[in-house]
Amino acid sequence: MKNKQFNALILAAVFVIVSFQPLFGAERAPINVNLIIDGTEYLTNAKGDITSWLTGRLDQILADGDRLTIWSAGRESKVIYSGTMSAQTDRDAAKKSILELSGSGTSANFSGALREAANLQSSTYSYTLLISTSAASLSGFLSGSQSNLLRFSRVEEFSGWRAIVVGLNIDTRVRRAAAAFFQ
């Protein structure tokens, strides 16, 4: 009798493991990844650390099918890379655009890049990462009318620079979720 119970227990355990297997191997839906890099002269002081961290971070974040847009936020914000990740060559091209980035001037147009990133959102999920290399380049943005774009964000401090994860357009999602919760 004990042998039958043991076999039944083993069979049940195998069934549970097999039934949850698709959850662990499931692929996620493609996302939009926005990377906004401070394009001011302050970039040169921390560029080595930033590029090293970013290339590792992109390898962790990006999956096939993801859409990546990289902005240089200098006096004007401009897209320096845009593409859908489908092979290692796409990732290498994105990393190359980061490595080739040079900074000039002291003002960063973060608001222009963040507005464009917010308008580009086409998938259900978007990940926006803003790299700031100095308080001076960020202060103009924070004191301006577009500072509300950073309302839902998380800041990670490094020596000489910051990585800011920005929750673009999340306010409408939060309102909808709160309204649905209280109904």
CATH number of the domain at 152, please: 3.40.50
| Total structural domains within the chain | 1
Task: Name the residue range of residue 82's domain.
Answer: 32-175
Which amino acid, 163? A
Task: Give the least confident one: 65-79, 128-142, 162-176.
Answer: 162-176
Asked if residue 183 belongs to a domain, the reply is: no
User: Tens digit of pLDDT for each residue in 38-48?
Assistant: 999 999 989 99
Asked if residue 100 belongs to a domain, the reply is: yes
Q: Strands 126-132, 161-166: parallel, antiparallel or unpaired by DSSP?
A: antiparallel
Q: Under DSSP, is residue 85 helix (H, G, I), strand (E, B) or coil?
A: coil
User: Tens digit of pLDDT for each residue in 69-125?
Assistant: 999 999 899 999 999 999 999 999 999 999 999 988 888 888 888 888 888 766 567
In 51-160, the DSSP E strands lie at 67-73, 77-84, 126-132, 153-158
User: Tens digit of pLDDT for each residue in 46-71?
Assistant: 999 999 999 999 999 999 999 999 99
Q: Can you tell me which residue has the tokens 């650390």?
A: 49
Asked if residue 23 belongs to a domain, the reply is: no
Asked if residue 6 belongs to a domain, the reply is: no
Judged on CB neighbours under 10 Å (0-12, 13-18, 19+), 105 is: middle
